[in-house]
Copies of this chain bind each other. A is one copy, B any other.
């Protein structure tokens, strides 16, 4: 069973859950109300998200509040870093090209 962040965010429902609880912790029932599935299905998604440590639980009486581990989200950002370097380079190349063209014009 592969369980990493990229796997976790592949599912659109899970991405929606992440967005939903990003600002405030919620219980499985409360979350399920936002979707067109059963609580159990949501519960499964929550388990997957928990297993890859994207969310954490906090028990309050018989209710369990799920909260986003925002720090973990940075791992995606970290992976993107290598490509960001490329698209910024592309931008710089364009920039240089424009500068060169300007230079030629001025000559």
- This chain: how many copies in the complex? 2
**Contact B86–A71 (Cβ < 8 Å):** no
Nearest B-chain residue to A10, judged by Cβ:
B10
**Contact B22–A86 (Cβ < 8 Å):** yes
Question: CB-CB < 8 A to A9: which residues of B?
Answer: 6, 10
Question: Could you give, for residues 75-87 of chain A, a 1 whenever the CB lies within 8 Å of some chain B CB and a 0 otherwise?
Answer: 0110110111011
| Total residues of chain A contacting the partner, CB 8 A | 25
**Contact B22–A15 (Cβ < 8 Å):** no
A residues sitting closer than 8 Å to B (CB atoms) are: 2, 4, 6-7, 9-10, 12, 15, 19, 22-23, 70-71, 73-74, 76-77, 79-80, 82-84, 86-87, 90
